[in-house]
Structure 1
Amino acid sequence: MSQSIITTIDQLQAQFDHMRALSRKKPLNSWIDREALLDSLETMLAKNQQVFADAISQDFGHRSQDETNFAELFPSFQGIAHAKKHGKSWMKTRRAGISTLFRPAYNEIQPQPLGLVGVIAPWNYPIFLSIGPMIDALAAGNRVMIKMSESAPLFAEAFAQAVAKHFSPDMVSVVVGDVDIAVAFSEMPFDHLLYTGSTSVGRKVMAAAAPNLTPVTLELGGKSPVVVLDDADLENVVNRVMMGKTLNAGQTCIAPDYVLIHSSLHSKFVKLAKEWLLKHYPNIESNDDYTRIINDAHFKRLQGYLSPLPKEQVVPLTNVEADAEKRLLPPVIVLNPDPETEVMQNELFAPILPLIHVNGLRDAVEFVNSRPRPLALYIFGEDNKNIDYVRSHTVSGGVAINEVIMHVAQHELPFGGVGESGIGAYHGKWGFERMSHMKPVFVQSKLNAMSIMLPPYSNLFRKGLKYLTK
């Protein structure tokens, strides 16, 4: 393998030390240098679209080329274009306000590269969730080390080889390996560490970063609810929720996890969901558009969620049985499961959709607020007053109204969680600032009144201070 591909802990330490030293000696303060790196990222992505898509499909057992194009390549290219368009203005030193009491002095904010950024990428969207953090880190003038997920080994190898061809190992290094490598990576004293994955592992990453006081961005998950208001168009609700639940077979951190809906609408929801699935995924067992579960361990985990539930509570949306050998899991709806069951306690990451009985808007809000704060919250309805009530009485990483998932592709919005669903946000300008030190600078004028602020304190000083502290 290329020297930019790290596979052992000794290599990891040596490369970390090398890149960190360079980040101190040769900071990337020029937009020309940063833009060139973004150009290289764009070229790498353009030249390896098919290679990446094929590797991902093999890792999953099958994933649609179109799904990879739509959910990974498209937002990655858009993110690069957005950073190239705006990055030069983001990095400029900007004036900040100042109190009239200190004028004619003035304040500035000077964005500076942090230095060396570590990225721990997940397996579910390995292109977008590797490229996205890299865009922000490189636009902000940082060097990057990225640890690929061991659950998608073929993509990890393809990505590492592509990076080695398009980037100097002084700028970008790819780390591949098992859990031991991931643990060692998270213990390195990076200038910033971004992790995308489960909440349980996120806790371990934060604990590993703590001894070094490494600042972290944790993009986690959780159970993202759908609140269906009384005046919602149920056909539209089903159309959008089922799209979000079947995309990547539900293996999406912001997939709609469960639906809060009045019990009188459950049967109609199930009927519409079956019709939707038949229309969009006919012959699901052989349909090239339908993705498989990533590995045997996750498939077994999902079967473990469903097997304890009463049969009448689990409603298949097709006549096709789950196939463990192929890791094919057709979508199912779970009718009003007990809140203490695993299907309601754990993030599903699967085409499993619980429908929860609620008696109106306030009941739905109370249900959401009784649980950890979600990464995303989806509201369907027409009455703006009721929509605003849900928005203002719940806290979530992000919100989409009459839609699901699409907020992640908005480069003018920050993306991140809150509470157990994450720490910090990135994308676009928000990611640039997250990956920069926004240094405050106070510039004193030659003409200033600081001389009267020195001891021995005069009556003028006392009178002035008394006036200011009234």
Structure 2
Amino acid sequence: MNQALRNPAAGGIEDVFRRAVALSRAASPTLAERRDRLARLRALVVENETRFAEVISADFGNRSSTETLIAETLFLLAEIKHATKNLSRWMAPKHVATELQYFPAKNKLLPQPLGVVGIIAPWNYPLQLTLAPTIAAIAAGNRVMIKPSELVPHFSALLQKLIADKFDDTELMVTGIDGDISERFAALPFDHLIFTGSTRVGRLVAEAAGRNLTPVTLELGGKSPAIIDRSADIAEAAERIVYGKLMNAGQTCIAPDYVLIARGRADEFVAKANSAVARMFGTSPDNKDYTSIVSDKHYARLEGLVQDAAARGAKIVQAAKPDDPAWKAKRKFPPTFINGATTDMKVMQEEIFGPILPVFACDTTDAAIDHINAHDRPLALYWFGKDDAARDQVLTRTVSGGVTVNDCLFHFVQANQPMGGVGASGIGAYHGEWGFRGLSKMKPVFYRSPFNRLADLYPPYGGKIARLIKLLRFMS
């Protein structure tokens, strides 16, 4: 399949980059041009909705077309609509207050495109996490180059062809996935580089970008906790956590990675969560609503995490019969709960990125907060309960990329909220106007008034400047 996905243009990505840079320096796209590009992108998604779902399923081994529609297509259409509707307001110069000593001068912020934006896309939500930052970059007036993931070759080939059919390669292009393309792409001196993936690879991308002083947006991952307060409805929390965990079979950067719950309630949670699994996905590997793990390597890693936890004394709970060979043959990993997880287990030390949910005993809110704060800041945090004081204690004493209260995932899809990590879970943010601003140069402009006395600051210095400094000191 890789042979079908070739680098575009006779001169390769370096030639496309040079031409895109030249055009970006020559002129900024108008509101009409940006809206036209967004409209073409929307048409591409709408016209090929079924094809995208088919190739993504082929790359994974199985993924429900409904899940792709919910998690990828609908999100993108909403994001394009939001950007198109608000773009004229975002592009307008922003009036900024002028301090009294400079009155009647004026200040403005002028949004301008950065130039050429590079996007290194992941495999887990290949459509959404490729085109969402693309929408922000186009809205901000940039030209865009995308490097897709080699783990989803069918999708990458289709996206490359469809974009080439609707866009000039200096507007928007998709590279190949073969050979040394990743290294060459990361080495280009982009005006901004966006990467979504693991923290380990994100560090390498940031290092490569740093050699060109290229600013980066890194959407990474980590271990996102779900705290179940004593005031929570266990059945309700279990169902919502199971849904958030098992979407895309847990291959989601903001999936709840582990549960923190009072010791005496862990068994009840696991029982109710296991029942929720059976209701949503049944117990058969033939269930077409349940997504496959993307590769044999990823599947083997998940097996190793469960084996390590079992060897260290955890109770392994599964609604399905994991000894059925069809699970592995279809590369579907049985939803698994690790009851009695401890910090020495690998499952509590690394991001899981699969349908395994450790349940870790924490008897107090303080203990849960201390556990979270002893580790890298997570990309997401989830809190379940009815005790507002306990909720606010968690919100104020922990730092994370985002939070959903009494559910999972939904902070991610809010058009007016930024999506991004903090510390090891990421740098920068996008979505809506946050993405527009992050991929624009918000240029400050000062308009001096002819009636301003700034010339009194000029040499030669004397009594006049002393009086002016005294006045400025009083006003400062």
Q: State the 1:338 CA deviation.
A: 2.5
Q: State the 1:455 CA deviation.
A: 1.1
Matches within 5 A, 1:33-432: 33-178=33-178, 180-310=180-310, 313-321=314-322, 323-432=327-436
Counterpart CA distance in 2 for 1:403 and 1:267 is 20
Counterpart CA distance in 1 for 2:9 and 2:138 is 25
Extract unaligned runs of 5+ from structure 2. Answer: none
Answer yes or no: is the 8 Å Cα contact 1:19–1:143 preserved in 2. Answer: yes
Extract unaligned runs of 5+ from structure 1. Answer: none
Counterpart CA distance in 2 for 1:433 and 1:334 is 42
Answer yes or no: is the 8 Å Cα contact 1:117–1:144 preserved in 2. Answer: yes
Answer yes or no: is the 8 Å Cα contact 2:109–2:443 preserved in 1. Answer: yes
Answer yes or no: is the 8 Å Cα contact 2:310–2:316 preserved in 1. Answer: no
SS in 2 for 1:353: strand
Say if 2:456 is the partner of 1:452. yes
Q: State the 1:215 CA deviation.
A: 0.5
Q: Which moved more, 1:10-19 or 1:378-387?
A: 10-19
Equivalent residue letter for 2:450: K
Answer yes or no: is the 8 Å Cα contact 1:9–1:184 preserved in 2. Answer: no
Q: State the 1:310 CA deviation.
A: 2.4
Counterpart CA distance in 2 for 1:259 and 1:397 is 18
Number of aligned residue pairs: 468
Counterpart CA distance in 2 for 1:340 and 1:462 is 68
Counterpart CA distance in 2 for 1:191 and 1:457 is 43
Answer yes or no: is the 8 Å Cα contact 2:270–2:339 preserved in 1. Answer: no
Counterpart CA distance in 2 for 1:369 and 1:399 is 15
Answer yes or no: is the 8 Å Cα contact 2:220–2:424 preserved in 1. Answer: yes
Equivalent residue number for residue 14 of structure 1: 15
Counterpart CA distance in 2 for 1:14 and 1:451 is 49
Equivalent residue number for residue 438 of structure 1: 442
1:434-457 residue CA offsets vs partner (Å, 9 max, x unmatched): 111000000001111012111111
Q: Which moved more, 1:453-462 or 1:54-63?
A: 453-462
Q: State the 1:383 CA deviation.
A: 1.5
Answer yes or no: is the 8 Å Cα contact 2:309–2:347 preserved in 1. Answer: no
Equivalent residue letter for 2:24: S
Answer yes or no: is the 8 Å Cα contact 1:94–1:109 preserved in 2. Answer: yes
Counterpart CA distance in 1 for 2:427 and 2:226 is 22
1:65-97 residue CA offsets vs partner (Å, 9 max, x unmatched): 110000000100000000010011100111101
Counterpart CA distance in 2 for 1:462 and 1:19 is 53
Q: Which moved more, 1:330-339 or 1:223-232?
A: 330-339
Gap change, CA 1:459 and 1:5, over 3 Å in 2: farther
Q: State the 1:304 CA deviation.
A: 1.5
Q: Which moved more, 1:306-315 or 1:203-212?
A: 306-315
Gap change, CA 1:9 and 1:244, over 3 Å in 2: farther
Equivalent residue letter for 1:333: F
Equivalent residue letter for 1:15: V
With normalisation by structure 2, the TM-score equals 0.95
Aligned CA-pair RMSD:
1.7
Answer yes or no: is the 8 Å Cα contact 1:134–1:144 preserved in 2. Answer: yes
Counterpart CA distance in 2 for 1:314 and 1:267 is 10
Counterpart CA distance in 2 for 1:8 and 1:199 is 32
Gap change, CA 1:9 and 1:170, over 3 Å in 2: closer
Answer yes or no: is the 8 Å Cα contact 1:380–1:402 preserved in 2. Answer: yes
1:110-152 residue CA offsets vs partner (Å, 9 max, x unmatched): 0001110000110000010011011100011111000000010
Counterpart CA distance in 2 for 1:300 and 1:181 is 27
Q: Which moved more, 1:209-218 or 1:307-316?
A: 307-316
Equivalent residue letter for 2:215: P
SS in 2 for 1:309: helix
Answer yes or no: is the 8 Å Cα contact 1:400–1:407 preserved in 2. Answer: yes
Equivalent residue letter for 2:375: R
SS in 1 for 2:63: coil
Counterpart CA distance in 1 for 2:334 and 2:397 is 35
SS in 2 for 1:375: coil
Answer yes or no: is the 8 Å Cα contact 1:5–1:160 preserved in 2. Answer: no
1:303-361 residue CA offsets vs partner (Å, 9 max, x unmatched): 12121222662423223216333211011111232213221111100000011110110
Gap change, CA 1:33 and 1:309, over 3 Å in 2: same
Equivalent residue number for residue 27 of structure 1: 28
1:383-438 residue CA offsets vs partner (Å, 9 max, x unmatched): 11111110000000001100110111101000000000000000000000011100
Counterpart CA distance in 1 for 2:386 and 2:331 is 39
Equivalent residue number for residue 469 of structure 1: 473
Equivalent residue letter for 1:168: D
Equivalent residue letter for 2:27: K
Counterpart CA distance in 2 for 1:242 and 1:156 is 30
Answer yes or no: is the 8 Å Cα contact 1:398–1:415 preserved in 2. Answer: yes
Answer yes or no: is the 8 Å Cα contact 2:283–2:319 preserved in 1. Answer: no
Counterpart CA distance in 2 for 1:241 and 1:8 is 46
Q: State the 1:163 CA deviation.
A: 0.6
Counterpart CA distance in 1 for 2:123 and 2:8 is 18
SS in 2 for 1:118: strand
Equivalent residue letter for 2:59: D
Counterpart CA distance in 2 for 1:179 and 1:301 is 25
Counterpart CA distance in 2 for 1:269 and 1:315 is 14
Answer yes or no: is the 8 Å Cα contact 2:17–2:170 preserved in 1. Answer: no
